[in-house]
Structure 1
Amino acid sequence: MKDIVYEWYGDRKNVDEMVHWSKGKLKKWEQAVAEFFPPKAKILDVGCGMGREAFALSDMGFSIMGIDISEEVIKQVMQLSLQNCYDIPFSIYDGHTLPFDDASFDVIIIWAQTFGIMYGDTYKSDFLNECKRVLKKDGLLSFSGHDYRYALEHYKHYTNGRRFYPYANAEIYWETFLPEELTSYAENAGFSVMLYGQGEIYKPEDGIVLHCLCRK
């Protein structure tokens, strides 16, 4: 993961803004995907941010662990967890290696912007292989990214090639994807694709994201 990503998510003022992104519930497409998760599944939330997904999934009866590259994020999400009486472990990781034994989780989620800030094909491919290692037999992986065609149509002035720049005067960007690219990443890592396509967020004006659900 490039320094610009570590610097952005390590800056307290940027992390403070993230608190207001959460609506406290899963997005429509996330809810649809979560229906495939086994009851009481042990889930690893990669790039957990301020815990929106982790808290919502915990409320649904799943066992969650959240990891993030930002020490500031982990510090704040742990405080939120404590304040709201959740018993969810959150920890920092290096962005490349998952610090867990083989076959540790039933499900791994890489939601929001996380997959799009794993810059380059090699990085993403290596990370999906790392996910495969820590998933149990028949374990599920769900990951998402921003739709290149949608970004080009609706936010062309924020787009440069496949890069989407969400913040003014900032170097950080999100990579954008075509649907078949997400499935290719999954298949090249040896996963079987179960579901993929565009997913709704909360309401039409929020736009859509691309997502892929696959099985080890």
Structure 2
Amino acid sequence: MGNIVNEWYETKKNVDEMVHWEKPKLKKWELAVTKFFPAEAKILDVGCGLGREAFVLSDMGYKVKGIDISQEVIDQVVPFSVQKGYDIPFSVYDGHKLPFEADSFDVVIIWAQTFGLLYGNEYKHEFLLECKRVLTNGGLLSYSAHDYRFLMENYKNVMKGRKFYPYADTELYWETFEPDELMAFAKDAGYTLILCEKGEIYIPEDGTILHCLCRK
């Protein structure tokens, strides 16, 4: 990931603002996707942040490992996880190479905003191949991204072309997508597409995101 992303997530003030603990829950679309996951699956949570998805998936009986590009994020989530009684390994990675052997995971998730921070098509293509490497044969990849049409209809003032700028006075942005574009990444990397759809977050007012589920 580029320097813009690294600098944002290494800034303690920005990470501090991510902290909230109300018993975490999965978004509606995330919960729907987990119905495809094998029982007790080994899951790699890419861009784990402060652990919302990892904690809930662990509660559901999955074996989760979380990785993030930000040392500041990992420095906060590790003691937070211990404090809450979880035994989830969290570690830093370089944003490109996954520090695991081939065939290590049954599921890889790239949820929340992470996919839109993999700037450029070549980067995303190479990263999906890297995810494929660490997946077991028949393993699942689930990834999500911002819905270009929804943002243009509701947040046009913070859109510049296909880039979504949610924070004032910063260069950080998320790439946005149409469904066919999101599907193309999976197909180009040699995955078998299971579904690609708009998913509800929590309530209708939150809008929708796009997400794909595919198989190695």
Q: Please report the TM-score for the alignment, with normalisation by the length of structure 2.
A: 0.98
- For these two proteins, the number of residue pairs brought into alignment is 216
Q: Does residue 163 of structure 1 match 2:158?
A: no
Q: Report the Cα offset of residue 18 of structure 1.
A: 0.7
Match of 1:175 in 2: 175
Question: In structure 1, what is the Cα distance between the partners aligned to 2:126 and 2:171?
Answer: 24
**Is the Cα–Cα contact under 8 Å of residues 46 and 111 in structure 1 kept in the other structure?**
yes
Q: Which amino acid aligns with 2:34?
A: A
The aligned residue for residue 205 of structure 1 is 205
| TM-score normalised by L of structure 1 | 0.98
Deviations 1:55-87 (A, max 9, x none): 000000000000000000001111110110000
SS at match of 2:19: helix
Q: What is the deviation of 1:28?
A: 0.1
The residue that corresponds to 2:32 in the other structure is 32
Calculate the aligned-residue CA RMSD, in Å: 1.0
Aligned to 1:143: 143
Over 6 Å off, 4+ runs: none
* Partner Cα separation in structure 2 for residue 151 and residue 167 of structure 1: 14
Letter in 1 for 2:104: S
* 2:123 maps to amino acid: Y
Q: Deviations for 1:15-55, whole angstroms, at most 9, x for unmatched residues?
A: 00111387610000000000100000000000000100000
Identical-pair percentage: 66
Partners of 1:109 and 1:143 within 8 A in 2: yes
- Matched-pair contact (CA < 8 Å) for 1:22–1:52: no
The aligned residue for residue 130 of structure 1 is: 130
Mapping of residues 183-202 of structure 1, within 5 Å: 183-202=183-202
Deviations 1:114-166 (A, max 9, x none): 00000000000000000000000000000000000000000000100000001
User: Equivalents in 2 of 1:49, 1:106: separation in Å?
Assistant: 21
How far 1:207 sits from its partner (Å)?
1.1
CA distance in 2 between counterparts of 1:191 and 1:28 reads 24
Partner of 1:94: 94
Q: Residues of 2 paired with 1:175 and 1:162: CA distance?
A: 6
Flag structure 2 segments of 5+ consecutive residues without an equivalent.
none
Query: What is the aligned partner in structure 1 of residue 82 from structure 2?
Result: 82
Contact 1:145-1:176 within 8 A present in 2 as well: yes
